[in-house]
Homo-oligomer: A and B are copies of this chain.
């Protein structure tokens, strides 16, 4: 293939809901037909709608705990179906196209099943195929090990495939087509005036995604940041809308103070009271929880100088709460702590903004708004581009709306 062609390749990715039925595959074909007028297109697709769930159901009928290698070999079938059906559809529209599984491309991963990370993408086959085709259709979500075993990339796998391929072939852009319009300042189902962002930095999306925005998987965003791939999130069902461009900070000379507001109601807080102020105590506690695969989110330690004792407070997922309390009660006397307390009635309300760190007035404004509106703050955590307040669940929606209004995030 000639160099010119290579430099104009566009990557587009369609998720499971976008290729749920033959009718929707036809619609995706029309989008691709339009896109390939401006140059060669590399398409990444997920499995059709609920194929993956159906295959998992079959597997569970054969074995209570299906082998991870066999499961990956089975699940890879889902994308193998969608890539071939989409390619046939493109053919019927007169578009020269060819499908590739991950093994056929050479998307090499580590030898870990169900959640493998990509270690190398060999794009030679793809570039060669693009010499004879307008469109190449690649199976998302899957990979292959050096010795030919099929792997899958875990949640958000197809997003990751798309960005990794875009990086490998130095694509001019990578569009993630999904079933929402793009990235919003807040959840439009909850916050009035929440509006679509035209542009956002990788870092801001990373902070948002973990809070449940779930428009694009954090792994894909991290990869996009690392390899400087410009990613656009847009709606399959409104192909004329441009969606949200996720791009490096260097393109965003003037940061917004606040880009978005997110709510997370799935956490609970746990406190260990009156722990002696000795080195290693926090480590002991965290190790005990890590041994049970419990992920800890916010963590803070308060020292009571008059008593020479500490309190350690942290948040865990509500599903892990009972196990966490039981685990801590076991080591309570060993630690010399007096009590283990928990609070399931918490919600995290977070402000996300790449410019947050440079604007100390933002935190002051938030605390002041909460005070004026009788919203009690239980915990506070800050990072470079996020300010999180833990408040009561009943206050969560009102608090998020107040912040959204105060920072004029409405459209």
Contacts and interface: CB of A to CB of B under 8 A. Distances in A.
A242 interface: no
A25 interface: yes
Chain copies in the assembled complex: 2
Interface string A66-86: 110111011011001101111
Interface in A34-66: 55, 58-59, 61-64, 66
Interface in A91-132: 91-92, 98-99, 101, 103-104, 125
A interface majority secondary structure: helix
B99 A73 contact: yes
A81 B85 contact: no
A85 B73 CA distance: 10
B80 A67 contact: no
A80 B88 CA distance: 20
Nearest to A93: B63
Interface string A242-260: 0000000000000000000
A87 interface: yes
A372 to B, nearest CB: 59
Contact of A69 (B76, B98, B103, B149): B98
B148 A104 contact: yes
A22 interface: yes
A89 interface: yes
B63 A92 contact: yes
18 contacts: A22-B62, A59-B84, A59-B88, A62-B86, A62-B88, A63-B89, A64-B92, A66-B88, A66-B91, A67-B88, A70-B84, A70-B88, A71-B84, A73-B80, A73-B84, A77-B80, A77-B81, A125-B148
